[in-house]
Every structure is written in C-alpha cells, then in structure tokens.
Amino acid sequence: MGASTTIEVHEAGDAALRVVATTGDREHDWKTVHALAGWLDSSGMDGIHGAVPTYDSLLVEFDSHLTSARQVRAIVLLAMRQIDFVGATSRTPRQFEVPVVYGGQFGPDLARVADHEGLGVEEIIRLHTAKSYVIRCLGAPAGSPMMDGPDFPLPVPRLKDPRISVPAGAVSVAGRQAVIAPASAPGGWCVIGQTPLTLLDASREPLVPYLPGDVLRFHRISPEDFARYDGQPLEALP
C-alpha cells in the first residue's frame, strides 16, 4: 500500500496540519500516527515544534516563518515511506495497576452511565475492571492517559453541561474512550470513580510515568481504602 492511500493530510491553519490514518484498522492506524510522531520528533527538522498523536490522527505543529504547511506536508509523506513500524513498537510495554473507588462522591456519573447502558452499577464496575487498557496517547488535561473504552454495549454520551472542575484522579468514560485525570480541570466526560494515586509530578520530565503503548488495569477498592493510598505516586509494576 502506498503512503498516500493510508493517510490523509488536512490543513489546520497556517501553523498546523492534521494527519489522519485511514485504513480503518484501529491498531494499525494508531501505530502509524505514533510512528510518524516519533519520526518527526526525532528528525530535528527546523521549524517543526512537535507532533501530537492520538488514536487515528496526528497534529503536527510548526512555525510558518521557518517552514510552511506545504513543506511539512511533503515531510510527512516522506516520513510515511521511511517509518520503521517494527522499531516504533519494539519498546516493552510497562504495566500499571490503578486502584479506584467507584460511585458515590468519587464517581457521580456511575448511575447515569449504568442507566444509559441498561446495566446495573455492579456490571459497569465489572466491565471497567475486566480488561487491560493500552494507553493510546497523552491528552488534555496535563498528560491524561487516553485509552479505548471498556466493553460497554453503547458509546457513553458526554455531559450536556461540562463540569467547571473535575478533581485530579477522576476516572472517566466518554464515547468509546476511557481516561484518568492527572490534574483538576474542567471536564465533559462521565466520572465513574476516582483513584487516590497521584499521576502528575511537575518536577519530572515527562510529568507522568506512562507512555503511549503502556498497559493499565483498574481494580476496585473501598471508600475506606482511599485514604490508605492517598498521595502515593502511580508507578509501573516491577
């Protein structure tokens, strides 16, 4: 397959391009955009600030004084021909275990999500803790681990009125996605639980302990156990 048949490059202003992988194979598309991001980041190309890869798309940001949308498009197409997909995924994924208190004040939208899915609250928790999640990308706010969602029957709608503030540690779902909030921020996703662990450490680069490709599991703890973990950092399993 030629590069031009597997990605589309869209203009996104005079300082960014959006690259979308279009094979429809989610795993392949995700690897493509992350491999492209890695290639662009390590290319040291003048004027290219960096790349933000997510699930099937990539935002490439640049300074249009030093380069241009046209040049960056050409570079992306060149990169597509040079990417080593094997090399891009050779890092051994690390494993993370995340304790979560579900429902109540910790997960104010748990019942709403259960209603929407036509399932009981316990079944929602069971599905959420049942699988291992691959961290697909680091997103807003503050390097959130963004993952494919749990195996719910239906996509979860976003809140009609986003919250002004969602606390750090909030464990949320929306659409077919799942996430943990490393920092307090506004949010429109359904919050079903909260982890007492700290994800963010501003004295470290990067600020969060995980990278795209790492694997994360949730397990349930009781509200009484929240204080026992409170403030401990999230760390990869040995």
Please report whether residue 58 would count as binding another protein according to CB under 8 A: yes
Of 192-211, binders to another protein (CB under 8 A) are 200, 202, 205-208
**Contact region for another protein (CB under 8 A) — 65-73, 82-90, 100-108, 110-118?**
65-73
In the complex, least distance from residue 224 CB atom to another protein, rounded to whole angstroms: 29
Render the chain in DSSP notation, one character per residue: --HHHHEEEEE-STTEEEEEE-SS-HHHHHHHHHHHHHHHHHHT-TTEEEEEE-SSEEEEEE-TTTS-HHHHHHHHHHHHHH--HHHHT-SPPPEEEEEEEESTTT-TTHHHHHHHHT--HHHHHHHHHHS-EEEEEEETTTTEEEEEPP--SSPBPPPSS-EEEE-TTEEEEEBTEEEE-SS-EEE-SEEEEE--SB---TTSSSSSS--TT-EEEEEE--GGGHHHHTTPBP----
Please report whether residue 150 would count as binding another protein according to CB under 8 A: no
Please report whether residue 32 would count as binding another protein according to CB under 8 A: no
Please report whether residue 11 would count as binding another protein according to CB under 8 A: yes
**Using omega within 30 degrees of 0 as the cis cutoff, is the peptide bond preceding 162 cis?**
no
CA–CA gap between residue 18 and residue 212 (Å, rounded): 19
Of 35-54, binders to another protein (CB under 8 A) are 37, 41, 46-47, 49-54
Please report whether residue 224 would count as binding another protein according to CB under 8 A: no
Q: Pick between residue 161 and residue 224 the one whose CB is nearest to another protein.
A: 161
Looking at 6, 23, 129, 184, which residue binds another protein (CB under 8 A)? 184
Q: Pick between residue 15 and residue 127 the one whose CB is nearest to another protein.
A: 15
Please report whether residue 14 would count as binding another protein according to CB under 8 A: yes
Q: Pick between residue 54 and residue 194 the one whose CB is nearest to another protein.
A: 54
- Residues in the site for another protein, rule: CB under 8 A? 10-16, 18, 37, 41, 46-47, 49-59, 61, 64-71, 137-144, 146, 155, 157-158, 174-177, 183-185, 200, 202, 205-208
